């Protein structure tokens, strides 16, 4: 058995396989398009706040239409030369949420590092227990997003370095 990279010379074979084994998900053309069209995976969309004709803050999101959610990829605001990511960005968060609702998406997603949270600096073991017992040690950024309506929903262990975990935050748009 050998492992091959999907490329231009063999993409047709893989699309054929996909459409044969799961025709209720893919026809051949849909499979071929999904294997080649990166815009089907995520499309970037973003906004910024302007003050005196200069950008003051931004939010960049990725749309995952197939999974019905908008993911906040990065954001920031210039507060007199300091980088902040809380209340100052609320107009942009509201704009992203409005956009997601207009598109019919069900969720907003954001990943926050575990800094100043109870799970930081150590290995994660039982994710459900870790999530149930997750506490903020006055982490302003985390606390703000919880106040805004996001809920911790999972982990990406070690994604920011050893024992520095990503906390997957979800805000439902169905309410």
Give the span between the Cα atoms of 110 and 114, in whole angstroms: 13
Residue ranges in the chain assigned as alpha helix (H) = 11-21, 28-36, 90-102, 127-132, 140-148
Strand spans (E) along 32-147: 43-51, 54-64, 69-79, 82-84, 107-113
Confidence bin at 37 (pLDDT 50/70/90): confident
Full-model pTM? 0.85
pLDDT for position 100 = 98
In the predicted model, is pLDDT for residue 54 greater than 90? no
Strands 107-113 and 69-79: parallel
pLDDT for position 175 = 76
pLDDT for position 105 = 97
pLDDT for position 106 = 98
pLDDT for position 1 = 80
pLDDT for position 3 = 81
């Amino acid at each position: 058995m050998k492992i091959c990279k999907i490329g231009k010379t063999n993409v047709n074979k893989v699309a054929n396989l996909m459409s044969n084994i799961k025709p209720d998900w893919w026809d051949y053309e849909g499979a071929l398009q999904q294997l080649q069209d990166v815009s089907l995976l995520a499309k970037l969309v973003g906004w910024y706040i302007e003050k005196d004709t200069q950008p003051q803050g931004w939010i960049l999101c990725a749309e995952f239409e197939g999974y019905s959610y908008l993911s906040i990829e990065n954001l920031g605001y210039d507060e007199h030369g300091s980088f902040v990511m809380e209340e100052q960005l609320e107009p942009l968060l509201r704009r992203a949420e409005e956009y997601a609702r207009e598109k019919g998406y069900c969720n907003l997603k954001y990943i926050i590092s575990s800094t100043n949270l109870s799970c930081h600096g150590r290995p994660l073991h039982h994710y459900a227990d870790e999530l149930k017992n997750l506490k903020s040690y006055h982490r302003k950024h985390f606390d703000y997003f919880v106040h805004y309506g996001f809920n911790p929903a999972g982990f990406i262990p070690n994604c920011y370095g050893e024992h520095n975990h990503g906390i997957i935050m979800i805000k439902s748009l169905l309410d």
